[in-house]
Structure 1
C-alpha cells in the first residue's frame, strides 16, 4: 500500500492532532507506534476491496492521509487496534475516537467490530451502533444503525445504506440489500437481494435479482 505523502507524515499528523485537542503523553505516543503497523495492514485489506477509483492508483492500493474518507476509516482502525492491543489504553483509544468524531462528524466507537472491508462516503452525521455487520457494508451521510429496547440489527454482506437511512432494533438484513435514502427500518427483516423504501411497518420491498 502506498501511503501518501508518507508514513512519517501520517505518524506526525495523528500525534499532532491528538495532542492539540486532548494532549498526548509519551506512553500514549509509544502505544500508537506499537499499534500502527497492524492498523495499516487492516487499512490495506479494507481499501483493497473498495471499487472507489480514489483507493487505487496504477494498480496499487493508495492511502492518502488528506482524503477524508480514507483517513476516517484509518482513525477507526487505529483506535480499535490501540484498544485491542492493550485495553488499559482505553483513554488513548477514546482520544482517537473523539478525533475522528471531530474531524469527520462520524460516531463509530472502537469497541464496535466492523467487517474486514467496509466503505463510507461523506459519513457526516452517521452513527454506527453495536450491530453485527457483514463484509462490504457501505453507508453514507446521516445514516443510523441502532438498538430498540437493547436489541441491535444483524446486517448481511454487501448491504448499502443510502443517505439518511436508518436500521433499528430486531432486524435481519439479507445480503445484497440496498436501503434507499431516508428509509426507516425498525424491527423488520429484509430478504436478500432487495431494494427497500419507506418507513416500517409500511415498507416497500422490491427484488433486485435480474
Structure 2
C-alpha cells in the first residue's frame, strides 16, 4: 500500500496529535509504533475493498494521511489494535478513539468490531453502537446504529445506510439492503435485497433490483 506522504510522517502525526490533546508518554508512543504494522495491514485490506477512486493510485491501494475519510478508518483500526494488544494501556486506546471523535465527529468505539471491509462517506455525526456488522457495511453522515432495551441489531452483508438513517434494537437486516435517507428502523426485520423508506412501524419496503 502506498502511504502518502509516508509511514514516518504518519507515525509522527498521530503521536503529535495525541500528545497535543491528551499527552503521550514514552511507553504509549512505543505501543503506537509496535501496533502500527498490523494497523496498516488491516487498513490496506479495508481500502482494497473500496471502489472509491481515491483509494487506489497507479494500480495500488492508496492511503493519503490527509484524506479525512481514510484517516478516520485508520484511527478506528489503530484504537482497536491498541485495545487488543494486552501490553498496551486502555488509556491509549481511549485517546485514539477520542482523537477520531474530535477530528471526524464519528463515535465508533474500539470495542465495536467492524468487518474487515467497511466504507464511509462524510461520517460526521454518525454513532455506531455494538451491533453485528456484515462485510461491506457502508454509512454516511448522521447515521445511528444503537440498542433498544439493551438489544442491538444484526446487520447483514452489503448494507448501505444513507444520510440520517437509523437502525435500533432487535433488528435483523438482510444482505444487500439500502436504508434510504432518514429511514428509521426499530425492532423490525428487513428482508434481503430491499430498499427501506420511512419510519417504524410504518416502513415502506421495496424490492431492490439486482445489479
- Check whether TM > 0.5: yes
Residues 1:99 and 2:99 are matched in the alignment: yes
Structure 1 segment 17-96 matched on structure 2, within 5 A: 17-86=17-86, 89-96=89-96
Counterpart-to-counterpart distance in 1, 2:156 and 2:172:
8
Structure 2: which 5+ residue stretches go unaligned? none
Structure 1: which 5+ residue stretches go unaligned? none
SS at match of 2:103: helix
- TM-superposed deviation, 1:45: 0.2
Give the TM-score, by structure 1 length.
Answer: 0.99
State the Cα RMSD in Å: 0.8
Counterpart-to-counterpart distance in 1, 2:194 and 2:51:
21
**What is the match of residue 132 of structure 1?**
132
**What is the match of residue 170 of structure 1?**
170
- TM-superposed deviation, 1:209: 3.1
Give the TM-score, by structure 2 length.
Answer: 0.98
**What is the match of residue 180 of structure 2?**
180
Counterpart-to-counterpart distance in 1, 2:209 and 2:60:
33
Counterpart-to-counterpart distance in 1, 2:150 and 2:38:
32
Structure 1 segment 123-162 matched on structure 2, within 5 A: 123-162=123-162
Q: How many residues were matched structurally?
A: 210
Q: Contact between 2:168 and 2:187, CA under 8 Å: does it hold in 1?
A: yes
SS at match of 2:9: helix
- TM-superposed deviation, 1:87: 6.4
